[in-house]
Each structure stands twice: as structure tokens, then as C-alpha cells.
Structure 1
């Protein structure tokens, strides 16, 4: 089956989450990804970020943590010590065969090994070389370490997340890393299009903090427009009311009233059509102005009803509504099954002979995503890749 990126070769010097998110996506789209892991540290840091870990067929714990597996399928693990001349020579040989190099060392961290973007692009000018760091290759903070938590703090999203009177909160997953990985993918694909048109490679400088600031979106621009600090709203929306979680008698539901006609239908369900006619609540700006008073009325009406009653009643009136699912409910849902968002990949050497992973959301009509390789054990593909490299070098020498 032909994939979108068949034939593309990616030399992956990244670890943890942002870079691996990008290279897993490229691998899902058909690229061959060589994941370089350091033998001295037993590979990617996230191999030790657990529990949970997958047990081997013999019951012993493996190096496949859930964290590692979330971003490392469709890759070949190659154990190479880049601190040694031998390791550096291998990376240069792989770079000569690659289309893309991606790394997330500190700025200039690879220069002492001769593996920085200037060195590799000079030797291989058609490469697309992507560097991910906490604050980017320039600026006063360039040498500070970059982790998702620091990016969420510095970039402002934590100031918008959490209850109004509570502490600033990080998002429940490493979202700054993940979105940075998506930006990296977009940048690499754009640079490859330029390379294919001109024969010219280039360097992509991407910062966790920059990408986090980029997705402040409406809240960031609202601050720039007014000059005023934005406030945490908890699960409420800053500029739409009602648009939040509400307590039911047996759990919580989400109600997202996006316009005044939906609001009128919502009030019909509540048995309070007068709330749609009252000038204090009839329009969204009025509802924002009188948020506290209106929400107190709505909360009192919904808390006595069951989740299913609310969902059924609002769906019948075409008002956006839904449950707050646990992860167990998410992955057990018919919708997840229909969309292929939970997948099983065979690994005969682990307990039950397979690992469970989250599927790729991209659905192509001609070149579907493929799941060719489960997350690898550390270094399991070293011999195969180095054998291929020697054969390629021999063929090049004959040519």
C-alpha cells in the first residue's frame, strides 16, 4: 500500500515528546525513521518514565513505558553514542542518506560533535534540518532548558487554566510538546516542498515557548487588543455564555450554546422561555454582562436532572451537549471504534502479544496512514540499519 511519504528518510536525534511526536507522525505517513538512542543512558529518557510499563512474555518489565510508546511507533531504534568519533561518523553516513534531520538538544549542543545544522547542511545541502529547543536559537533565554511545564508557564497558558480563585494549572498532558511537534511536522513538509522545487535544504528553528504562544489564539489577541490581563475562567468560556460544564444529579455534562437561537432552544428545554426574552439574557453580550446571575439560575435547574435527561433533551433541540467522559469511557465508545482511534500492534515478545496505542486521526482517501512497526525496544534495529548503511555505501562506491 502506497503511503504519502514513502521513500522519505528521517534521521531522528530527538527524545522525550516534541520531536518524537513529529517523527511518529512522519512515520505514520510512510517515512522511514531512524531513531538514534544513546547506549550510555539506555535510550530515550521516556523509556524510564513509568509505571505503567508493558510486561514481557516472560512477565519481566520491559523498556516499553506507556509514555515512550505514545510517540514512538513506526520507527527503527538505532543505538549510537554520538559522543564518540565512531558514533559521529555513523550519524554523518546516515545524514548522507537522509532527507530530514530533527533534534532537540540545547542550542549549539551538537556543535562539539560536528552534528549541528551548519555542519550537516554544509556537507549535505539538500537536508531539511529541524531544531527544537525550549526558547529557540536566539534571544536572552536561548540557553535555558526547555520542558513542557516551563513552556506552559512562560508562554501564558497556565495563567488561563484553572478555577478563577485557584492556582494556575498546567494542561493535563504535555500539550506544549505535542503542538510543537505538530508545528515541526508542518515546517518539515513545507521545507521539503521547497527542497523538491529548488534542490535547496534549510534549517528550521522551532521553540516550545514560541509554539505555545502561537496557540494562545483568541485569548492572546484579546490581551493585545485591550492591554488588559485575561482571567482564568475555569470551565467557563471567556466570551460565550453558557459554554461550560454543569453539574447534573449523577455527574457532569457539557453545554456549548454558540448563538442566540441555540440559547432560545436551551431555555425551552429548561422550561424557562422567559430567560430567552429577558433583555438581560437575550443576547450573548448581555449574557456575558450578567453571567453570574444567569448561571446561578441555570445551575439550579440542571442539578436536579440526570445526565441522560439533559443530553437527550438538548440533542433533540439541536443544542450542543455532551458528557465528561473518563478515559475508560472514551476508549470503550462506539465512536472510537468506528474511527479507529484505538489500535493494537503485534509484539510477540510482550505479554498478550500486542500493545494498545492511540490511532492517528488523519483519514486519507488514497494514501491511508499505516502502522508498520510497534514501538521498538532500545537498539533492536541497530544491526539492520548499520548493515543497510554499509550496503548503501558499497553501492555508492561502485557508482
Structure 2
């Protein structure tokens, strides 16, 4: 069940206006990110803080557009309060260790009987051979066990993890997607359901062509760093003042690339005249190209290659990313009013909608328990004041 706010309420025109989401996520990036994705679109996402709360520096990154309620599940009063809130929720996100909510009588078997329209979304913590992984190690262990680390890193170096907890965030996106699909089906059947995902499943599904080629009997993918197995030149090149990536494997692009470097002889050289030759002789070609790109400034080389139609881009640090004209144009930094100092700048939305301004009225990440009173007042109103979800 969910209440429908009046048209002056924050987010009133957004796609998930009025949807009630109860989030039990503690330190799970996947659970928090899934809830944040729903909150971005106007859902009333209530993060339950209390016995499970895990302090983390990434709180500001994964908890915008949520309210926070404190409840003590170890008391009878706290458990009863949580049961009442669950009965009023449209969606429950459970990213806690296995059986935590079951032990409180708040697992799927109990809640599906008490609230048959509830969509119960389980985000399974990373599980390794030795058992559940601690939250702060979930992404690292999943990357190793699920294959990404095995194909990431320099050609002759050690395996490398991704630069952020990207696969946990991906699991959060999959959680959101599963929730929306379940809500869509509920519109037809009137019934909720249990959906689940995990970091490991999300990672393996995201291996895409690398995994499918292996399943079809192909070779194990190798680590190539920024290089490409079948295209040369295709990698990051050091310049006089930074780095640039160039994807010029195809013949016309290769010819234009070496022309701009002042080395047309590299296009005529029999060793490098064809794609197969460049792949076979990549070490010799890269030795020559590396020496040439190092003689140019990044900006100058970018301008020349762009003029010639050669695919290229600077390897930006994050300050440069947010100074980029396209990033600024698309509003990928949003400065929120209020909130704690240092928690007001958040990332912008990855998609836009013609029917509503998605970042309008976004809220800063909450302090634990900040909204307990207002949530109880809004969610636990008399039943006749709570409108049913649109069928």
C-alpha cells in the first residue's frame, strides 16, 4: 500500500511517486544503490538504521533521496514497529546477512502471507567457498571469484580490481530492474513476489562476450590492459604531459594516425601494412608509436587526431571529468540543499525523461534516524487514509 502525495509534494510528478520502499541494507553497496535508484525516480525510500547500521565513507554516494528511521529490532516494541511498516510497504529491500530478517519474523514467508502485494527484493551478500564475505571485502572477493579480475590488468602484470565497487553498484541496478519488473507484473496479477540478485550473478552476467566465447569453446580471455587482442593500434599512449587512448586498428584510421604523428613510413612498412601484420608485430609497432606520442602534448595531439577522424580521448582524472563540457552539459554533478557538510554534491542521473525533471527536489543523504517521526506519521496513518497502489 502507498499514500499518494498532493501535487505540491517533492517528486509528485515522477514515475515512482507514492511508491513506498523499506530498505534494510546496512553496509551493502548493492542494497543501498538499488534503493537510491528508486528514490531518484520519486519513491519514498526509508532506510532502516539501528542494529545493522554500518558506518562507511561511501554513505554520501549511495543514500541520496532517502529518509532514515531508527528502530531497535532487539525489543518487542521495535520488532512490532518494523512489522507494521513492512505491512504498509510496496517494496522491501533485504541486503542483510542471511536469515537476519527471518529471525525477526520479517522474512518472505511471513510477509507474503501478511502483505501479499509486497515485492520482496533480496540482495544476496557475496558468498565465497569459505562462507559469506564481510561487506568491506564483498566486491574484491566477487571480482576474483567471478572472473573479472582474471581478465583485468596489464598484459604482464598482476590481476587488478576495478577502480570502484562498480560490480556492487551493478547488482543494485539489477535489484532495481527486478523490482520494477515485479511491480509491472503486480499491476496485472495484484500479487507481489520475491526477487533476488547478488554481486556474483551480476558480475558473471556482465562478462558478456568474454564469457560466451569461453562457453562456446574459445580460449580463455587474456589480460590485455588497455590493448585489444585483435586490433592494433588500440591502447593508452603516454604523451608529453599525460595519457591519450587511440583506437586506430582499421586501415584508414591507422594511416591517418601515423600521418598525424609524422610517420607515414609506418603505414608503408610491410610488417605493419595489414591488421594481421600489426597484431603479429605489435611490440615493434608500439615501440615506435610510444616514442612518437611522447613527443606531443595531449591537447595538441587530441586536436590533430580529432581533425583527422581518428577515435581518441584523453585519460582524464576525476577533476578533469567534471570539468568536461559534455559532463557539465548533462548535469552529472548535482549540488543539493541542506544535508551535512561534505555530503551535498552528488552524482547526476544516468538517464533523462521528457515527462519529469528527474533531479528536481532531490534530497541529501540523511543522518541516521533523522526522519523517524515523520516516517511513522506518514506511513502509519489510519488505514482509511492510505490509498492502495494503482492496480
TM range (shorter): 0.7 to 0.9
Q: Is the 8 A contact 1:107 1:142 kept in 2?
A: no
Q: Is the 8 A contact 1:106 1:145 kept in 2?
A: no
Q: Deviations over 1:221-265 (max 9, x none)?
A: 233334533221122223332221101111111112364332232
Change (3 A) 1:8 1:285: farther
Q: CA deviation at 1:377?
A: 0.7
Please provide the CA RMSD for this pair.
2.4
1:346 matched residue in structure 2: 337
Q: CA deviation at 1:373?
A: 1.5
Change (3 A) 1:385 1:286: same
Q: CA deviation at 1:163?
A: 1.7
User: 1:222-261 alignment to 2 at 5 Å?
Assistant: 222-257=213-248, 259-261=250-252
2:389 matched residue in structure 1: none
Change (3 A) 1:226 1:99: same
Structure 2 SS opposite 1:192: helix
2:23 matched residue in structure 1: 12
1:356 matched residue in structure 2: 345
Is residue 115 of structure 1 aligned with residue 106 of structure 2?
yes
1:377 matched residue in structure 2: 367
Counterpart selection for 2:87 from 81, 85, 96: 96
Q: CA deviation at 1:339?
A: 1.0
User: 1:293-308 alignment to 2 at 5 Å?
Assistant: 293-308=284-299
Q: Deviations over 1:85-126 (max 9, x none)?
A: 322222222222211111112332321111112221122121
CA distance in 2, matches of 1:286, 1:257: 14
Q: CA deviation at 1:395?
A: 4.2
1:49 matched residue in structure 2: 56
CA distance in 1, matches of 2:347, 2:306: 28
Structure 2 SS opposite 1:101: strand
2:381 matched residue in structure 1: 391
The runs of 5 or more residues in structure 2 that have no matched partner are 1-11, 387-391
Structure 1 SS opposite 2:349: coil
Is residue 27 of structure 1 aligned with residue 27 of structure 2?
no
User: 1:278-293 alignment to 2 at 5 Å?
Assistant: 280-293=271-284
Scaled by the length of structure 1, the TM-score of the pair is: 0.86
Structure 1 SS opposite 2:99: coil
Q: Is the 8 A contact 2:96 2:125 kept in 1?
A: no
Q: CA deviation at 1:207?
A: 1.4
Q: Is the 8 A contact 1:135 1:141 kept in 2?
A: no
Is residue 323 of structure 1 aligned with residue 334 of structure 2?
no
Q: Is the 8 A contact 2:84 2:380 kept in 1?
A: no
CA distance in 1, matches of 2:88, 2:270: 68
Change (3 A) 1:187 1:279: farther
The runs of 5 or more residues in structure 1 that have no matched partner are 51-66
Q: Is the 8 A contact 1:94 1:389 kept in 2?
A: yes
CA distance in 2, matches of 1:31, 1:141: 37
CA distance in 1, matches of 2:75, 2:32: 24
1:63 matched residue in structure 2: none
Structure 1 SS opposite 2:26: coil
Structure 2 SS opposite 1:70: helix
Q: CA deviation at 1:290?
A: 2.6
Structure 1 SS opposite 2:335: strand
Counterpart selection for 1:160 from 151, 167, 189: 151
CA distance in 2, matches of 1:187, 1:142: 26
Q: CA deviation at 1:210?
A: 0.9
Change (3 A) 1:22 1:284: farther
Q: Is the 8 A contact 1:134 1:151 kept in 2?
A: no
Q: Deviations over 1:49-98 (max 9, x none)?
A: 34xxxxxxxxxxxxxxxx10111011010001223332222222222221
